[in-house]
Structure 1
Amino acid sequence: MTEPDLNLLIALDILLAEASVVGAARRLGLSASAMSRTLSRLRAVTGDPLLVRAGRNMVLTPYAEAIRQRSQNAVFEARAVLRPSSVELNLSTLDRTFTLRANDGFVVAFGALLIEAVAEVAPFVCLRFVPKPEKSVTHLREGRVDLEIGVLGDMGPEIRVQALFRDRFVGIVRKGHPFEREPEVTAGQYVSFGHVVASRRERARGPVDDALAELGLKRKIVAVVPNFSAALAVAQASDLVALAPASFLINQAMVNEKEAVNPIFIFELPVKTKKITVSQMWHPRLEVDPAHRWLRQLVLRVCSQRLPE
């Protein structure tokens, strides 16, 4: 009996995770045609189509759905077997790419510091930051990311969680805005100007609006943008008011001290909102991995050294 080509296992795992030939090709660094040939080989080996056309998309067959979790576990187990755990971690020679899923606010605030901290002791390690358009445990479960960073959602009971820091929202306007002349911005003054809101889910209302409603006030939302960077840019070029996590403005505050071309004025919100806890999350399969443990400790240390006030 001919032994199966175990290299196909990785391709199978990624194809089932992506449910797309193009997506799987992108992750494996192959051309779409090469990935199609690999899918043909997998179909021949398994005796099942695995992926079939459904309108403009591809969907998994019942057999593919049934073996999806098994293929993931097989790949993880194989990688664990081939990664020596008894050898002491040598950061100077560690050659590995870690994928961190985080929003733009975290990358802006801590990305450069993390990259620098890694480069000092592990010159062959690469940090790959990927966007986080929504909260989802799928990426951790499928092994597509090493760390998920953000506010804890419904991640499931098996996901490991460690708090990094507590954050709060602050207001932002351009330098020279009327708010800059006020010793303290009142709720009435706050709602007298138009507002630009950052929301990756295109939602205009949030905790600030709930707090204002208790005072019988309502702010006028004139624009909704996809991220805090865009909200900041709009506020810098207009009289609109924006808000963002204090941690997001760490680097911006440092730039302002150097008289940036488009500086901003940061002020405390006139209403109280709950502080948010930013955490790092990982799958338990990586709990005892020495390199992953080092990464988690590094992320915690870097964030602790730069906590927002």
Structure 2
Amino acid sequence: MARPDLNLLVTLDILLAEGSVARAAKRLRLSPSAMSRALARLRETLGDPLLVRAGRGLVPTPRALALSAEVSHLVQAAERVLRPATLDLKQLVRTFTLRTSEGFAENFGPDLIARVGKEAPGVKLRFVQKPDKDSGLMLDGAVDLETGVVGATTPPELITQALFRDRYIGAVRKGHALSRGKVTSALYASGRHILVSRRGLYKGPIDDALRQLGLEREIVTTVGGFSTALALARASDLIASVPERHTGKLRAGMHSFPLPVAIPEVTISMLWHPRLDADPAHRWLRGIVRDVCAGPRVRRVRT
């Protein structure tokens, strides 16, 4: 069975509303003859004359009257479906799942939650830990947005946008020997260190840079996240080396200093799946994340 021409619904809706072939043709920007042919097709399709002559005008048949309200409703519904999506933040009810490295939620989360609550009270943010670089949860739709460093293992189909650049610094407790005076590479290497590695490694880029200077540091312990490293350093004489902006609030009350070795800065980006790219609510969320991560700019540890 051939599928009906759904364009005829629009034609029928206007014909029934106008009760005139000429006026309907004008609204549809068709010639009167083209409109007459469309009416003929409708009559054939529905098996009813729809509009019949009465004096100088046309009047609807009982079938046309019965169809009028339903056809109008269908056309309006179709127009809503085909209209670009609009966003009413005050009425939006949704939960967004953000997968972030340790420290992101602690440092940027409070401002994100406050901004979301002010603009869209019905929206909730759900932060989940990012123990590795596997983006499978985002590909499966379980995660709406992810933050981190884009690398060779990042799925090519994901969309990425840079948020900020970050550099590594040293952090020690107040009163630590390294909190007094300039920290040289030799002085830094002579201390006892905490290594942050999600994969449980025993060396990192800092050790490679020290090796080029003929130095080697003592790594006392390896932990999986920045907050753990800073908690240990806060309560001991250990040295934590962490990204500056990523741990701004986590380092409150501690002494921070620039690393005395050259370590490349890292770019923190947000990542999302293309299926969410045009979603107005997701676009709004991305804008808030950009704004919160962009400023106000933190004062950098002086070199």
Q: Give the TM-score normalised by structure 2.
A: 0.69
AA paired with 2:171? Answer: I
Q: Does residue 123 of the first structure (1) align with residue 113 of the second (2)?
A: no
Q: Does residue 170 of the first structure (1) align with residue 169 of the second (2)?
A: yes
Q: Once the 2 structures are TM-superposed, how far is the Cα of residue 137 of structure 1 from its aligned partner?
A: 2.3
Change (3 A) 1:84 1:201: farther
Change (3 A) 1:140 1:87: same
The answer as to whether partners of 1:85 and 1:289 remain within 8 angstroms in 2 is no
Partner of 2:268: 278
Partner of 1:215: 213
Matches within 5 A, 1:22-41: none
Q: Once the 2 structures are TM-superposed, how far is the Cα of residue 104 of structure 1 from its aligned partner?
A: 1.4
AA paired with 1:247? Answer: R
Q: Does residue 88 of the first structure (1) align with residue 86 of the second (2)?
A: yes
Change (3 A) 1:233 1:99: same
AA paired with 2:128? Answer: V
The answer as to whether partners of 2:100 and 2:148 remain within 8 angstroms in 1 is yes
AA paired with 2:232? Answer: V
1:116-162 Cα offsets, whole Å, 9 max, x none, are: 01001100100000000000121121111000101112222211000
Partner of 1:194: 192
Q: Of the candidates 255, 280, 283, which is equivalent to residue 265 of structure 1?
A: 255
Q: Distance in 2 between matches of 1:85 and 1:132?
A: 37
Partner of 1:106: 104
The answer as to whether partners of 1:99 and 1:144 remain within 8 angstroms in 2 is yes
Q: Distance in 2 between matches of 1:94 and 1:285?
A: 19
AA paired with 1:267? Answer: F
Q: Of the candidates 143, 146, 149, which is equivalent to residue 144 of structure 2?
A: 146
AA paired with 2:197? Answer: S
Aligned-partner SS, 1:213: helix
Change (3 A) 1:109 1:213: same
Note the aligned Cα RMSD (angstroms).
1.7
Q: Distance in 2 between matches of 1:166 and 1:125?
A: 28
1:168-190 Cα offsets, whole Å, 9 max, x none, are: 110011100111111x2001101
AA paired with 1:273? Answer: I
Aligned-partner SS, 2:248: helix
Partner of 1:291: 281
Query: Which structure would you say has the larger Rg?
Result: 2
AA paired with 1:187? Answer: S
1:242-269 Cα offsets, whole Å, 9 max, x none, are: 111101332245x4xxxxxxx3110110
Aligned-partner SS, 1:127: strand
The answer as to whether partners of 1:105 and 1:247 remain within 8 angstroms in 2 is no
Q: Distance in 1 between matches of 2:197 and 2:184?
A: 24
Aligned-partner SS, 2:84: coil
Q: Once the 2 structures are TM-superposed, how far is the Cα of residue 199 of structure 1 from its aligned partner?
A: 1.6
AA paired with 2:247? Answer: L
The answer as to whether partners of 2:95 and 2:124 remain within 8 angstroms in 1 is yes
Q: Once the 2 structures are TM-superposed, how far is the Cα of residue 239 of structure 1 from its aligned partner?
A: 0.9
Aligned-partner SS, 2:103: helix
Q: Distance in 2 between matches of 1:84 and 1:122?
A: 25
The answer as to whether partners of 2:227 and 2:250 remain within 8 angstroms in 1 is no
Change (3 A) 1:106 1:84: farther
The answer as to whether partners of 1:165 and 1:307 remain within 8 angstroms in 2 is no
The answer as to whether partners of 1:163 and 1:279 remain within 8 angstroms in 2 is yes
1:49-94 Cα offsets, whole Å, 9 max, x none, are: xxxxxxxxxxxxxxxxxxxxxxxxxxxxxxxxxx997342000010
Change (3 A) 1:189 1:122: same
Q: Once the 2 structures are TM-superposed, how far is the Cα of residue 238 of structure 1 from its aligned partner?
A: 1.1
Q: Distance in 1 between matches of 2:114 and 2:206?
A: 35
Q: Name stretches of at least 5 consecutive residues in structure 2 with no aligned partner.
A: 1-80
Q: Name stretches of at least 5 consecutive residues in structure 1 with no aligned partner.
A: 1-82, 256-262
Runs of 4+ in 1 over 3 A off after TM superposition: 83-87, 306-309
* Matched length: 219
Aligned-partner SS, 1:270: coil
Aligned-partner SS, 1:161: strand
AA paired with 2:156? Answer: P
Q: Once the 2 structures are TM-superposed, how far is the Cα of residue 100 of structure 1 from its aligned partner?
A: 0.4
Q: Distance in 1 between matches of 2:103 and 2:250?
A: 11
Matches within 5 A, 1:61-72: none
Q: Does residue 301 of the first structure (1) align with residue 269 of the second (2)?
A: no
